[in-house]
Structure 1
Amino acid sequence: MKHEPYVSVCPTSASVSLLAFLTDAGYPDSTKRSLILESVAAFEENDRAMWV
């Protein structure tokens, strides 16, 4: 699977911008937001393992 370079190089900043997007008032569903954030965390963990 090919990742976008900026995601692989800097996954933390990707999740920060995603977090900012998800905490926007336009995204009120906290359950769905939590699930997405968990998915992002899992992706980052896998991504780090791949590049170590």
Structure 2
Amino acid sequence: MGGEVSDLVFGKSGPTVILLAGLQGVGKTTVCTKLAFYLKKLVHFSAFYLRS
């Protein structure tokens, strides 16, 4: 949030947690799915997400 850009930093062990927050209907689930596929392709990690 804001004008700064930063890289994702993955932990050496354990999961890396990415929090997506937003109002209803803004596309959080879609972004989460696209991000999971992108990261899987980029770094060959298995990705999953929990929706609440």
Choose between structure 1 and 2 for higher RCO, CA contacts under 8 A separated by at least 6 residues: 1
Q: Higher helix fraction: Structure 1 or Structure 2? A: 1
Question: When the two structures are superposed, what TM-score results if normalisation uses the length of structure 1?
Answer: 0.43
